[in-house]
Amino acid sequence: MTSPSRSGNTPDLLDGDHATSLRDVLTARQDTLWTSLRQMGGQPRTHLSLRATYVVADVMDWLAGLPAHSLHAVVTDPPYGLIEYNRKDHDKLKTGRGGVWRIPPAFDGAKRRPLPRFTVLSPDEIAGLDNFFNDLGDALLRALVPGGHLFIASNPLLSTLTFHALQRSGFEKRGELIRLVQTLRGGDRPKGAEDEFPEVCMMARSCWEPWGIFRKPFPGTAAQNLRRWGTGGLRRIANDEPFKDVIVCSPTRGREREIAPHPSLKPQRFMRQVVRAALPLGVGIIYDPFAGSGSTLAAAAAVGYLAIGTDRDESYHALARAAFGPLSALKVGEL
């Protein structure tokens, strides 16, 4: 078995023992890579299980120390903008105070969580956002194997900019996954003049969440890439049912939010479908650059995949340590 190298060179799967199945060869290579990958770097980390590791690290720093062709897919819900990503405003989010974070009023008896005010971003901040995702795309392209997919959450206000930045870095856009979910963003009357203009809303009420689907380019045919790397396509729901680009999924509620009280927690019912689709043959390593509460890692564990995540926020790391087990053990009927 060839260990992962910085050149990313890997013998063709058609060489060698033809009696060994394609899946066995891919699994053996995955296991060798996994043993090495989860120990790389000197950053603090927690091995949440034999199949999941959470590293306390900045995404760019961690990816810079990674050999090329180390990851098979990326599934992530990133911060949207350098303002949100800055420590000062990140701390304000946690305490629900000020900054670019809008604190909406109570709605239908429920206290609304802080939402980022993307409409107040300056041209310089928008340019910074564009550069951030372009740089992220460059780093992820190097780390992914050819044909590796990237699923990345966005929102209707910024998805065009974000997705274009990733395409500029070299990713192929392979469509969008639409999560049908009615959020509390938009639909508000003019602030301070609600009674004067009761028939007006300042923005359409958001009822969907876009996820970009991207793929690292590869030479040759899809079949050749699947044989060599185990990537290039998406895993079908069943042999007679393809993965679809619309998923109806309500906001995270109840027991799941009690387990992992993260401000942007995505439901396991949704995350497990996305994570499962990201590895077409069910073999490989999933990466979440912004692991937060560990929901992507928990979803990967629930479907039987290997997964590694990074986040520079130590409090989220502590949250993930406590939440991983209960989240991954949740039954679909409990979600």
Q: Is residue 95 part of a domain?
A: no
CA angle 270, 329, 214 (to 5 degrees): 30
Q: Is residue 136 part of a domain?
A: yes
Q: Which domain holds residue 182?
A: 44-76+121-334
The pTM for the full model equals: 0.85
Q: Tell me the CA distances in angstroms from 121 to 77, 103, 194, 200, 224, one per residue in order.
A: 20, 16, 24, 23, 45
The β-bridge relationship of strands 45-49 and 52-56 is antiparallel
Q: Tell me the CA distances in angstroms from 11 to 2, 180, 221, 312, one per residue in order.
A: 8, 42, 17, 35
Here the tokens at position 95 are: 């305490």
Q: Is residue 270 part of a domain?
A: yes
Q: What's the CATH code of the domain at 315?
A: 3.40.50.150
Predicted confidence pLDDT, tens digits, the chain (335 residues): 333 333 334 444 444 443 369 999 999 999 999 999 999 999 999 999 999 999 999 999 999 999 999 999 999 999 864 444 455 555 555 555 544 444 444 433 444 455 555 556 778 888 888 999 999 999 999 999 999 999 999 988 889 999 999 999 999 999 999 999 987 678 889 989 999 999 999 889 889 999 999 999 999 999 999 999 999 999 999 999 999 999 999 888 889 999 998 878 899 999 999 999 999 999 999 999 999 999 999 999 999 999 999 999 999 999 999 999 999 999 976 55
Single-letter code of the amino acid located at 281 = L
Going by the DSSP 8-state scheme, the letter that residue 65 receives in this structure is: T
Q: Is residue 38 part of a domain?
A: no
Q: Is residue 256 part of a domain?
A: yes
Q: Is residue 6 part of a domain?
A: no
